[in-house]
Amino acid sequence: MSFWQDKRVLVTGATGLLGSALVKELIREKADVVCLLRDWVPESEMFRNETVNDVTIVSGAITSQSLVERILGEYEIETVFHLAAQTIVGVANNNPISTYESNIKGTWTVLESCRRSPAVKSIIVASSDKAYGSQKLPYTEDMPLMGTHPYDISKVCTDLIAQSYARTYKLPVSITRCGNFYGPGDLNWNRIVPGTIRSILKNKRPVIRSDGTTIRDYLYIEDAVSGYIQIAKRLEQNKNFFIGEAFNLSTETPITTLELVNKILSLMDSELEPIILNRSSHEIKEQWLSAKKAHSLLNWYPEYSLEEGLKKSVAWYKEVLK
């Protein structure tokens, strides 16, 4: 029997790229999934692939402690994946207060609610590689969190609040820090992978907002899901060892934005030339992660190379946007 069979799981942020993919996998593993949704997002992959029909939907805000406590209690939740967040750096720069509200208050609301709910056995909180700020590369989990700009700071606070609840209250929390997700289901055209693919499919030149030299690592969404699943299992099986631990999930293959766009152009047999705007601001120039801790403690390794993940992504967008 699957570890997840009949396990009662709460997923916040379930209509996002990661949330939709995670819910799909949990349903496949026969889990009993509850999703807390602030907004009804019909274009989300969770709606498109109809997994929404296999979950319990609760509408409301992640910042409502009474609501979160009711969900945990009434549905006897055992595992919580806290993914809900405002995730776009540009939005955070333009409207930091709403980002702080959802990302920081949302995190303490979930954790305080879990502290009051004895049925909860494991909680996975999504931090980010942005929490590390600008420092020696690659980032490792023992480095200080040195984010500077609004989105980065919101994830530093998310991360530290989770660590605080783990250390102070022995709450069974582990933390993920990942690079940039991509893959089927991402319809946020401001992100470089879906935006580039859609432009090429429309025979339009892809647009790079930065100067093209920023360096990131990219993680295919199915690999991210497998990492989250593995962390949650290990946390429940060995709380004393995994409580408060953070894990980087990464392919450890950094690439510049221009190189990434050119790779997509090549995979799609396009001769279009990218437009480089050089207008981005408040973004860290170079970021990538070491995943050695996840390799050694979780036996987690990404299944997809960047090229393999991009090929699967291109095929999905061709089907969806045809």
Number of helices and strands (H, E) in the chain? 13, 13
| Residues in Cβ contact with 148 at an 8 Å cutoff, skipping those fewer than 6 apart | 133, 134
Answer yes or no: are the C-beta atoms of 276 and 212 closer than 8 Å: yes
Nearest partner of 140 among 299, 302, 287, judged by Cα: 287
Residue for token digits 């020696």? 136
| Residues in Cβ contact with 26 at an 8 Å cutoff, skipping those fewer than 6 apart | 4, 9, 11, 33, 229
Nearest partner of 182 among 14, 281, 13, 311, judged by Cα: 311
Q: Is the dihedral of CA 32, 34, 35, 41 positive or negative?
A: positive
| Residues in Cβ contact with 86 at an 8 Å cutoff, skipping those fewer than 6 apart | 92, 98, 99, 102, 103, 151, 154
Most distant pair of Cα atoms in the chain: their distance: 58
Which residue in 100, 151, 165, 182 is the catalytic one?
151
- 151 catalytic? Reply is yes
Residues annotated as catalytic (active site), given as ranges: 151
